[in-house]
Amino acid sequence: MPLHAHEADLFESSRGRLEAIAYRLLGSAGDAEDAVQDTYLRWHAADRERIETPQAWLTKVLTNLCLNQLSSARARRETYVGQWLPEPVLDGDRILGPADTAEQRESVSMAMLTLMERLSPNERVVYVLREAFGYAHREIAEILNITESNCQQIYRRARRHLEVGRSRAEIDAVAARKIVEEFLAAALSGDTEPLIRLLADDAVSVADGGGKVTARRTPVIGAVGIAQYLRGMFRPSDSKRALVGGSPAFHAAVVNGGPAVVVEVDEQVIGVVCLDASPSGVAAVHIQVNPDKLQRIARQWAATGPHRPLAEKW
């Protein structure tokens, strides 16, 4: 059935919300866009005159598509080379969705997107729809074809799984830049002590190269170990310059609501280092260098430039 103008407009008015839901569910902007496009194709093919509540119908279709992806993603993770991290997104991108409440902002942080990998597909759907978008348990139960009491149980279970390690601090753009400045100064100092002072004692560092770029394949745990690892990674050398294709420039940015270092070589983004700030220091360092997961943020970064680096003599 051909789409009438008002039906096309209805979908387009929902696209941003659908993308934001899908990104939180999948941790990938590219996969989120694909899921929304598949939802559009189903909307186009549906008998729309029989759909009483289009917004609810679209959310249900999108959610089921994401559930299928989440189930297959578990199998793909087993063959993924090294550690898997979510795709970073620069602040201001609509795919991040609503950010009016602390819960909404936390649900899209790199730390929380990484933690949500612990959840079952149903737990992730219930948590995201309830916590970030304020859906009632009755509405979520209808989307998942479960009872309302079962939905409430799944939500409580998801929250218990995510309570471990949750100590994120709320920071603004000014505070985020200060954290990045201190981190870069410490990382480029050539000494471990400044880094140890910035890191929480039980901090964790994870790098994702996807098998396409050299990256550590196991997490580093503890302030001392991470400081030693970062000191080696940030220490300049001719071999490292040859590996990355030149001398990198280091920029401060806000990514997924938190402080981050964007690394460029010849105005091309080659890496993003996200810092999870907590009251006790930087609790996690997420290093994304998989080029497949840097395409969107690279376009965003280029579109909002030029940018003045914090450091470029490396």
Q: How far apart are CA 114 and CA 117, in angstroms?
A: 6
Amino acid, single-letter form, for residue 210 = G
Query: For 87-107, how does the pLDDT look when each residue is reduced to its tens digit (9 = 90+)?
Result: 999 999 999 999 999 889 999
Mean pLDDT of 3-26: 94
In this prediction, residue 79 has a pLDDT band, given cuts at 50, 70 and 90, of confident
* pLDDT-derived band at 166, boundaries 50, 70, 90: low
pLDDT band at 185 (very low <50, low <70, confident <90, very high): very high
Q: What is the pLDDT of residue 2?
A: 75
Question: What is the rounded CA–CA span in Å between residue 129 and residue 64?
Answer: 13
Q: Who wins on pLDDT, 168 or 77?
A: 77
Could you check whether the bond before residue 309 is cis, i.e. omega within 30 degrees of 0? no
Instruction: State how far the Cα of 247 lies from the Cα of 105, in Å rounded to an integer.
Output: 34
For residue 7, pLDDT beyond 90: no
Strand partners, 268: 265
The model's pLDDT over 201-229, given as tens digits with 9 standing for 90+, comes to 999 999 999 999 999 999 999 999 999 99
Task: State mean pLDDT over 256-284.
Answer: 95
Ramachandran angles phi, psi of 254, nearest 5°: -110, 115
> What b/e sequence results for 19-39 when a residue is b if at least 16 CB atoms lie within 10 Å of its CB, and e otherwise?
bbbbbbbbbbbebbbebbebb
Q: Is a pLDDT exceeding 80 seen at residue 165? A: no
Q: State which H helix or E strand residue 218 sits in.
A: none
Residue 131 predicted with pLDDT over 70: yes
Q: What share of the chain is helix, strand, coil (3-state, %, to 5)?
A: 55, 15, 30
Q: What is the mean pLDDT of residues 139-154?
A: 97
User: Which amino acid does the sequence have at 232?
Assistant: G
Model pLDDT for residues 170-181, shown as the tens digit of each residue: 788 899 999 999
- pTM for the predicted model, two decimal places: 0.93
- Of the candidate ranges 38-47, 77-86, 186-195, the one whose mean pLDDT is the lowest: 77-86
pLDDT score of 25 more than 80: yes
Residue with tokens 């995201």: 128
| Mean pLDDT in residue range 262-273 | 96
